[in-house]
């Protein structure tokens, strides 16, 4: 059954104007594939007119990035209808804010090249059309400055200005006549954008270039609109990101749900962890540390091809918000690599995927690791006491019960299992190996590592609108482990012995990536760095699993980056919003300003204790881990 073509009627115009007046969201189809989206009461409207017979979905994406836009047909027969609707919206905005702005965008002349297009030619160029007048000049000047900050590749954008009576595309009548704008507090502006994302020879789109331009343009326009709003209207946003899109439309929810569904079909770390770690240690010890033990792995519970097919079914291209589209694309790429790695377990290919996901130890990280390994822990006269897995589970449950008094819907359970190594969190639950024996001095630190960080951020992520914030955005693990080790420090449990373990993992990864065998790496740790045999085995096992997993470089690297973030003035609380990477911190702050995500509902209790606050303040004085140790960690 064909859908009835929407019509712009007087009733529609009145109804939509009233929704703006009542601060209700508008998202509605218009004639000839047009659409209007107004997130909330805002003193501007972005306009794009689709020329007859010349579809430009790429240019539409630049307009639909904004919180208040209208896409309409350029058919002359529809001009008066669209004009009536737009003028009604603008007049309502004037009632609310005293002044409003309408900016029309259109495609400029294409690149000129008879040769294949190269990155050398991808220079962004914008031409601003601003009618003469102080108000128009104020916005046009701000827009010029912000557009000039856009860079595509290594090319900085150029911006030119045209001042006169024309502010709209050639051969199209103005939506708001100049005399009307002067007499009614409507600021008008036109922007011609060079379509560098399109091959001039065949019209082929360069998607990556379009996404870069869309993201840069969205931020630049937001900055200019912020300046306009603060100086010319009664609308006073707290930050330029506050002007951005706030509502999350169905397309975004659908993509997020599809990606989360695909991610939930396998647990990468559990699949890559041997099921016989205890037996492997006994086997290795019986061989007098000469024979590489055999490791057993769980069968993959799904067909990798089907998993990948499901991942790529998520229609990311339908997401209008460039910030969210970027996050979703990165996650899909990460899942793709993880699925490939699971196919490649116990083969040389596994390492290649691991290097793509986690990287390896660079010179600075290795240098820090060796520096830590040179330090020797003070010998204690007290005999080390260990607690059983069952006792540790009771203590962990007590911490979870405390968090549940603050968040009754916390769903975490503690499970004792023989087929996991050590202690880990999977899908928000705490898994403890039945073979675990935990140093009594490490109990609180380990609880805050696993429960106070991994469980807590999983719960916080579940309270957000995006499932990705509980499952984890791409590359989230480095920050997660950096925060978790930081938690150990903040409760006074980050000993030199623990730091040496993290440093040993970095050295083990470096050895095995360079071709050293399990036994050779084991000997390096025992002979060169004085690890006990059991400690060295556990370190090498973690790196050798799957076929060399370089993930263990992220603990020390994540800690170093987190300390640097705090020392530079970064807000630690924002990092607990869910499972994000440090590379997402700026974007998360943007989404917090836009109220797309909420501040973290739960924060670790050590952030409110005197000891925690005191130790946190020390981080601002000690920029490196070594300084932290020498400064009294």
Tens digit of each residue's pLDDT (9 = 90 or more) over 381-411: 677 888 899 999 999 999 999 999 999 999 9
Is residue 85 over pLDDT 90?
A: yes
Q: pLDDT confidence of 631, banded at 50, 70, 90?
A: very low
Beta-strand relationship, 34-38 and 68-73: antiparallel
pLDDT tens digits for range 423-468: 889 889 999 999 888 988 889 999 999 999 999 999 999 999 999 9
Greatest pairwise CA separation for the chain in angstroms: 92
Return mean pLDDT, the chain: 91
The domains found in the chain, sorted by start residue, are 24-106+120-247 (3.40.630), 267-301+344-377+385-630 (no CATH)
**Residues whose CB falls within 8 Å of the CB of residue 610, separated by 6 or more in sequence, listed in order:** none
Query: Among 11-15, 298-302, 460-464, which is the least confidently predicted range?
Result: 298-302
Q: 3-state SS of the chain: helix, strand, coil percent to 5? A: 55, 10, 35
Kindly list the distances between the CA atom of residue 545 and the CA atoms of 10, 145, 505, 522, in Å, as whole numbers in the listed order: 68, 52, 13, 14
| pLDDT greater at residue 154 or residue 464 | 464
Q: CA-to-CA distance for 204 and 534, rounded, in angstroms? A: 59
**Residues whose CB falls within 8 Å of the CB of residue 490, separated by 6 or more in sequence, listed in order:** 448, 604, 606, 607, 611, 612, 615, 616
Tell me the percentage of the chain whose pLDDT exceeds 90. Answer: 71
Q: Tell me, what's the pLDDT at 1? A: 47
| Contact by Cβ (8 Å): 574, 381 | no
| Other beta carbons less than 10 A from residue 41's beta carbon | 16
Q: Tell me, what's the pLDDT at 426? A: 87
Q: Which residue has the tokens 């480095």?
A: 478
For the entire predicted model, the pTM comes to: 0.87
Q: CA-to-CA distance for 359 and 560, rounded, in angstroms? A: 15
């Amino acid at each position: 059954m064909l859908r009835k073509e929407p019509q712009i009627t007087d009733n529609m115009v009145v109804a939509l104007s009233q929704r703006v007046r009542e601060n209700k969201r508008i998202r509605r189809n218009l004639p000839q594939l047009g659409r209007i989206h107004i997130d909330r009461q805002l003193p501007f409207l972005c306009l794009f007119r689709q020329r007859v017979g010349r579809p430009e979905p790429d240019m539409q994406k630049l307009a639909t990035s904004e919180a208040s836009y209208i896409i309409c047909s350029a058919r002359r027969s529809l001009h008066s209808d669209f004009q009536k609707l737009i003028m009604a919206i603008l007049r309502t905005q004037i009632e609310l804010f005293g002044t409003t702005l309408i900016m029309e965008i259109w495609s400029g002349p294409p690149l000129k090249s008879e040769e294949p297009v190269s990155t050398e030619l991808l220079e962004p160029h914008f031409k601003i059309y601003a009618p003469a007048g102080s108000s128009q000049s104020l916005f046009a000047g701000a827009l010029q400055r912000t557009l000039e900050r856009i860079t595509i590749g290594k090319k900085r954008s150029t911006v030119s200005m045209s001042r006169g009576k024309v502010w709209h595309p050639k051969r199209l009548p103005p939506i708001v006549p100049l005399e009307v704008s002067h007499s009614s507090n409507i600021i008008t502006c036109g922007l011609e954008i060079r379509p560098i994302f399109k091959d001039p020879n065949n019209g082929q789109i360069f998607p990556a270039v379009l996404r870069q331009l869309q993201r840069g343009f969205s931020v630049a326009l937001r900055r200019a609109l912020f300046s306009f709003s603060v100086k010319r209207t009664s609308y006073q946003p707290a930050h330029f990101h506050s002007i951005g899109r706030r509502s999350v439309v169905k397309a975004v929810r659908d993509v997020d749900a599809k990606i989360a569904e695909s991610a939930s079909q396998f647990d990468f770390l559990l699949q890559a962890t041997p099921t016989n770690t205890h037996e492997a240690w006994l086997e290795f010890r019986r061989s007098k540390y000469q024979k590489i033990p055999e490791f057993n792995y769980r069968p993959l519970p799904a067909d990798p091809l089907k998993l990948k097919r499901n991942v790529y079914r998520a229609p990311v291209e339908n997401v209008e918000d460039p910030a969210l589209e970027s996050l979703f694309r990165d996650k899909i790429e990460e899942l793709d690599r993880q699925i490939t790695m699971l196919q490649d377990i116990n083969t040389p290919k596994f390492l290649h995927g691991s290097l793509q996901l986690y990287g390896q130890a660079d010179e600075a990280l290795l240098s820090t690791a060796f520096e830590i390994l040179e330090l020797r822990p003070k010998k204690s006269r007290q005999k080390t006491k260990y607690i059983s897995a069952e006792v540790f589970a009771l203590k962990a449950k007590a911490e979870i019960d405390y968090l549940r008094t603050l968040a009754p819907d916390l769903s975490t359970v503690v499970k004792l299992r023989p087929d996991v190594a050590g202690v880990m969190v999977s899908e928000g639950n705490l898994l403890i190996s039945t073979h675990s024996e935990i140093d009594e001095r490490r109990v609180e630190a380990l609880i805050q590592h696993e429960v106070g960080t991994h469980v807590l951020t999983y719960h916080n992520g579940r309270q957000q609108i995006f499932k990705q914030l509980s499952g984890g955005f791409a590359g989230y693990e480095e920050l997660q482990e950096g925060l978790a080790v930081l938690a150990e420090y903040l409760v006074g449990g980050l000993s030199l012995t623990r730091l040496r373990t993290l440093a040993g993992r970095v050295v083990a990864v470096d050895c095995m990536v360079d071709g050293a065998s399990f036994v050779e790496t084991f000997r390096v740790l025992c002979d060169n760095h004085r690890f006990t045999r059991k400690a060295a085995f556990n370190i090498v096992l973690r790196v050798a699993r799957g076929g060399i997993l370089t993930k263990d470089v992220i603990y020390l690297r994540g800690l170093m980056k987190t300390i640097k973030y705090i020392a530079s003035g970064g807000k630690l609380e924002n990092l607990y919003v869910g499972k994000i990477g440090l590379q997402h911190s700026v974007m998360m702050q943007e989404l917090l300003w836009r109220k797309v995500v909420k501040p973290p509902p739960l924060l670790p209790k050590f952030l409110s204790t005197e000891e925690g606050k005191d130790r946190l303040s020390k981080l601002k004085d000690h920029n490196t881990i070594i300084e932290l140790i020498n400064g009294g960690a």
